[in-house]
Structure 1
Amino acid sequence: MYVYGRNVLKEIINAKYPVKNIYFTDSKKTDKTLNDLIELAKKHNYSFSFAPDKVLQRMVNISKHQGVVIDIGKEFKYAEEDILDNLKENATIIILDQLQDPHNFGAIIRSAVASNSDLIVIPKDNSVEITPTVIKVSVGLAFKIPILKVTNLSRFIDVIKKRGFWVYGADMSYNIYYEMDLTGNVALVMGNEGNGIREKVKSRCDALISIPMANNVDSLNVSVSAGILLFEIFKQKSR
């Protein structure tokens, strides 16, 4: 899988994420930022080479690659389920139930990292996965937070509840999100863009929470809703 962009590379290096190779532009019209990235890759012993801009463009089908293309291998490196053993106290997990849009996924990853969340969980089937688009929209932050794929979300929720997590599903309900106690070990479930949370997954939640809206607006984009709820969790835990 080829990904691109300077911020993406910076996050890869900061996360010590293993890659097959980094391709930098061979153009002589480079700037200090790019030269600093080359030196950073060299310092951390990453394999890299230089290629013409047209070659980089063919790799990622875009001209705005910023002079950086990274071959991260066949597939993104997802977390293992034993990641649960390493979560800190008062952890925040966000569970995405069959999300489909890579732009929404990338935006949620960005909000999750910015709100100090600890883990993102997606189902193995019928769900968007990590793609170059997701990585680009996340500004490389997909490399900064563990992302776990599980076979069965309902079973996963049962597992984390036994570990002391309270699980909240984002759905139309009488529980206004900012009136709820969202401290401690918390998992937030966000549903599919069109259908919301599946009934079987919803039934595993301890409570459903909603975002009140004015002017007869009945719903928000899932990435916007996730951002609002994640930052409320962050705010309550920061008190």
Structure 2
Amino acid sequence: MTDEIVYGRNAVWELLQSGKPVNKLLLQGEGTAGRFQDIVSHARAQKIPFQFVDKAALDRLTEKAKHQGILAYVAPREYAEVDDILALAGEKGEDPFILVLDEVEDPHNLGALIRTADAAGVHGVIIPKRRSVSLTATVAKTSAGAVEHVLVARVGNLVQTLKDLQKAGCWVSGAEAEGTEVYRSDLTGARVIVIGSEGKGLSRLVKETCDEIVSLPMKGRINSLNASVAGSILMYEVLRQRGSRN
């Protein structure tokens, strides 16, 4: 399964006008909008990420089709809003349970985390628009269909989103190697779990915004776990604690 792409000026313009979810635009050029000024203006207004690349990159991605210097990556499903996630928790009469991913770049990790989120009763997943993998066909395949059942929101400012969730009554727990052992933490109540990127972990500002830092005990010689593995363990610990308090 390959990620869906749309290319050609008219096709991309119609896609943007349709309101369908677009992950990213690639434009031929060296950093100026030029002949794509109208498309760039629309992308900025809709907060759609875009990047300038050379012709060879577009030739490779489109297998030398007539791309006219523009290509769009299309998401396999609509993105939700953060408010939709909170509303879903309210409809179910449950405290919000949200997974936030800080610059996770591997589509297989995102797909696996969405699959676990569905199984663990997470109300929604939040990802940033930049420096992060988006919803792609690879993510959808790895999720084993869970992407159709889990709300995924994409936000421009992750730190501000966390602050908004805190104002809404959520407690934010970031996962890092050094922190309070998760099995000694109270993870009940309205909860946001934040998982960092595969290589760098939590970014500085995100880490500083968290209400607490929790960690998994590591008894071996390796001091970290794959992002999807760590996230899955934490999600199930939240589920276990919620179940034990019912």
Equivalences for residues 177-192 of structure 1 within 5 A: 177-192=182-197
Partner of 1:61: none
Partner of 1:111: 116
Residue identity in the other structure for 2:110: F
* CA displacement at 1:105 relative to structure 2: 0.5
* CA displacement at 1:2 relative to structure 2: 7.0
Partner of 1:82: 83
- The 3-state SS of whatever aligns with 1:87 is helix
What number of residue pairs does the alignment pair up? 171
Give the Cα separation in 2 of the matches to 1:215 and 1:145. 34
Superimposed CA distance per residue, residues 103-161 of structure 1 (whole angstroms, 9 cap, x where no aligned partner): 01111011111111101000011110111111011001011010000110100000010
* CA displacement at 1:90 relative to structure 2: 1.6
Higher RCO structure, 1 or 2 (CA under 8 Å, sep 6+): 1
> Aligned to 1:140, which of 139, 145, 149?
145
TM-score by length of 1: 0.68
Structure 2: gaps (5+ residues): 4-19, 21-72
Instruction: Determine what percentage of the aligned residue pairs are the same residue.
Output: 39
Give the Cα separation in 1 of the matches to 2:111 and 2:235. 15
Partner of 1:124: 129
Give the Cα separation in 2 of the matches to 1:174 and 1:139. 32
Give the Cα separation in 2 of the matches to 1:192 and 1:141. 21
RMSD after superposition: 1.9
Give the Cα separation in 2 of the matches to 1:147 and 1:221. 21
Taking a change above 3 Å as real, the CA distance of residues 86 and 112 of structure 1, as seen in their structure-2 partners, is closer
> Aligned to 2:233, which of 211, 228, 233?
228
Give the Cα separation in 2 of the matches to 1:81 and 1:209. 24
Equivalences for residues 23-172 of structure 1 within 5 A: 74-75=74-75, 76-83=77-84, 84-88=86-90, 89-172=94-177
Give the Cα separation in 2 of the matches to 1:74 and 1:193. 24
Give the Cα separation in 1 of the matches to 2:138 and 2:179. 36
1:201 aligns with 2:206: yes
Structure 1: gaps (5+ residues): 4-18, 20-72
Residue identity in the other structure for 2:80: A
